[in-house]
């Protein structure tokens, strides 16, 4: 590991200036040699530096191999019918001061043999957190999840979506932040200052799950003159009342969801350029636990350059415990999506229904299956998926995912990926 990088890491951790490190890390990550050195020396830097007199530490993580098989021929040049990639995600956790202070580092790296845009690196988490009676302070890159719905997390706006990892939008990039949380009897009140914006990831020209025009992620545009350095703010209050859990939040800053503007790349080829607007968004997430029923609602009211719009997703999950006198549980899920922008909704979920099944075997291998489909109520366009996972021994896990797009008309937002149905197999080794 380069000595100057090691010294910078030590000084960053000593002074808790992880945000400053992360901003420099954006440039470091673009150099594969430096990032490889960073991964190999990250844990050793903390341990050998003897930064803290007494602390407990743990190093864990996983490495995974995955392959996607596409059922249809590639529609665009340079695409393949199959893909292969490897991902590495270590995690270092240290705590001291009777557990009131902790340091978490979770770098992530993926190499994809087909799509160079999917070969990428990130700090999923790299933060210090201190607990002081009923106050918590977090500084660094972290992941924050808001929401209760299964099929779409409308209110989850802090972290950017890592879309090249999975089209379901569940994977997130680490977000630089300062987070101050007050944990009181009347609820938890959190304040967020987000000083650096993460751009969304998209497939490159060699990748699948893209349209005829490649998205030029190297030249995004921003409404704010500060571009990615615009400081976003958010506040959230959450609490529970008996069987009810509630969250109220407001976000002001750069939208995590870009709009696309036609343009030309450096070679004069037509591309789509992502443009990030400034928005103000107020949100509500609500969940009621009533016996075997979970009732869920996420709703937002958001304002951008095109005016204000409202959207929500709501529904239920009913779990049949010990179905047919077995140890298996079967969950039935139903959710409805609404967006008053109608066909202009960027998510494509303006009048759609999600129905699904969650089968949990409750066996030693933790076998689970989730299958479902989102259907457009107007056109019957359908996005279907199935996810299954099973542990093998103490350290291995096998995961299978399948995605399919059917009944798509040219006006549908998913029409551009109509030939990208695929099956993915992933083998993960934990340590």
Are 301 and 371 contained in the same domain? yes
Query: How many Å apart are CA 276 and CA 288, to the nearest integer?
Result: 35
CATH of the domain at 211: 2.40.160.10
- pLDDT grade for 5, boundaries at 50, 70 and 90: very low
pLDDT at 52: 57
Instruction: Say if residues 313 and 347 touch (Cβ distance below 8 Å).
Output: no
DSSP tag of 161? B
Please say if the pLDDT value at position 26 is more than 50: no
Are 67 and 2 contained in the same domain? no
**Tokens encoding 160:** 């950017």
**Tokens encoding 285:** 């997430």
Are 332 and 236 contained in the same domain? yes
Which residue spans within 185-231 are E strands per DSSP?
A: 187-194, 221-222
Are 424 and 322 contained in the same domain? yes
From 18, 34, 51, the end of a domain falls on: 51
Are 47 and 108 contained in the same domain? no
Q: 7: domain range?
A: 1-51
pLDDT at 346: 82
Please say if the pLDDT value at position 2 is more than 90: no
The residue with greater pLDDT, 235 or 26, is 235
pLDDT at 53: 63
Instruction: Say if residues 173 and 122 touch (Cβ distance below 8 Å).
Output: yes
Q: What is the arithmetic mean of pLDDT over 153-172? A: 96
- pLDDT grade for 348, boundaries at 50, 70 and 90: confident
Please say if the pLDDT value at position 271 is more than 60: yes
Please say if the pLDDT value at position 376 is more than 50: yes
Are 18 and 157 contained in the same domain? no
Please say if the pLDDT value at position 263 is more than 50: yes
Q: How many domains does the chain have?
A: 2
Q: Which of 8-12, 111-115, 169-173, 329-333 has the lowest mean pLDDT?
A: 8-12
In the block, tokens 């066909």 appear at 343
Are 378 and 261 contained in the same domain? yes
Q: Shortest CA distance to 355 belongs to which of 378, 342, 337?
A: 337
- 3-15 vs 18-29: helix crossing angle, rounded to 10: 150
Exposure of 221 in the CB half-sphere (CA atoms within 13 A): 9
DSSP tag of 140? E
Q: What is the arithmetic mean of pLDDT over 231-239? A: 98
DSSP tag of 326? S
Are 255 and 377 contained in the same domain? yes
Q: Which of 1-15, 118-132, 295-309 has the lowest mean pLDDT?
A: 1-15
Pair type for strands 55-70 and 422-430: antiparallel
Task: Output the average pLDDT for the chain.
Answer: 89
Are 43 and 103 contained in the same domain? no
Q: What is the arithmetic mean of pLDDT over 359-370? A: 97
Q: What is the arithmetic mean of pLDDT over 301-310? A: 94
Are 213 and 203 contained in the same domain? yes
Beta bridge partners of 232: 194
pLDDT at 405: 95
pLDDT at 42: 44
Are 71 and 180 contained in the same domain? yes
Side-by-side strand order, sheet with 259-264:
221-222, 270-276, 259-264
pLDDT at 412: 84
Are 157 and 135 contained in the same domain? yes
Q: What kind and span of H or E run contains 423? A: strand 422-430
Query: How many Å apart are CA 20 and CA 7, to the nearest integer?
Result: 14
Tell me how far apart the terminal alpha carbons of the chain are, to the nearest angstrom.
23
Q: What is the arithmetic mean of pLDDT over 127-148? A: 97
Q: Judging by beta carbons within 10 Å of its beta carbon (0-12, 13-18, 19+), is residue 98 exposed, middle or buried?
A: exposed
User: What is the pTM assigned to this prediction?
Assistant: 0.86
Please say if the pLDDT value at position 49 is more than 60: no
Please say if the pLDDT value at position 24 is more than 60: no
Please say if the pLDDT value at position 231 is more than 80: yes
Longest dimension (CA), the chain: 65
pLDDT at 334: 98
């Amino acid at each position: 590991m380069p000595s100057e990088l090691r010294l910078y890491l030590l000084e960053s951790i000593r002074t808790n200036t992880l945000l400053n490190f992360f901003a420099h890390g954006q440039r470091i990550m673009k150099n594969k040699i430096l990032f490889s050195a960073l991964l190999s020396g990250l844990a050793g830097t903390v341990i050998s530096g003897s930064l803290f007199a007494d602390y407990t530490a743990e190093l864990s993580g996983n490495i995974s191999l995955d392959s996607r098989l596409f059922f249809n021929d590639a529609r665009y040049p340079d695409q393949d019918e199959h893909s292969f990639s490897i991902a590495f995600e270590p995690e270092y956790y240290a705590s001291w001061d009777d557990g009131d202070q902790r340091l978490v580092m979770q770098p992530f790296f993926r190499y994809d043999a087909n799509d160079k845009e999917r070969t990428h690196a990130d700090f999923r988490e790299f933060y210090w957190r201190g607990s002081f009676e009923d106050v918590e302070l977090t500084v660094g890159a972290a992941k924050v999840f808001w929401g209760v719905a299964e099929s779409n997390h409308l209110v989850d706006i802090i972290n950017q979506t890592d879309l090249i990892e999975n089209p379901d939008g569940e994977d997130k990039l680490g977000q630089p932040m300062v987070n101050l949380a007050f944990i009181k009897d009347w609820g938890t009140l959190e304040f967020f200052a987000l000083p650096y914006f993460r751009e969304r990831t998209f497939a490159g020209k060699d990748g699948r799950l893209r349209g005829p025009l490649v998205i030029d992620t190297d030249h995004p545009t921003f409404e704010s003159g500060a571009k990615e350095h615009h400081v976003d703010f958010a506040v959230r209050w959450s609490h529970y009342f008996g069987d009810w859990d509630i969250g109220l939040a407001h976000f002001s800053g750069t939208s995590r969801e870009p709009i696309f503007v036609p343009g030309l790349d450096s070679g004069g080829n037509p591309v789509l350029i992502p443009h990030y607007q400034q928005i103000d968004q107020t949100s509500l997430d609500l969940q009621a636990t009533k016996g075997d029923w979970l009732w869920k609602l996420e709703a937002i009211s958001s304002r951008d350059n095109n005016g204000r719009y409202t959207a929500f997703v709501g529904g239920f999950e009913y779990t049949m415990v010990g179905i047919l006198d077995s140890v298996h549980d079967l969950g039935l899920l139903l959710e409805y999506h609404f967006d008053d922008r109608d066909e202009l909704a960027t998510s494509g979920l303006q009048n759609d229904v999600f129905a699904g099944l969650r089968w949990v075997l409750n066996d030693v291998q933790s076998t689970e299956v989730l299958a479902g489909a989102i259907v457009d109520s107007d056109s019957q366009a359908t996005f279907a998926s199935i996810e299954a996972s099973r542990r093998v021994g103490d350290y291995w896990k096998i995961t299978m995912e399948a995605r399919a797009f059917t009944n798509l008309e040219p006006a549908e937002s998913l029409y551009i990926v109509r030939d990208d149905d695929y099956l993915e197999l992933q083998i993960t080794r934990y340590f």
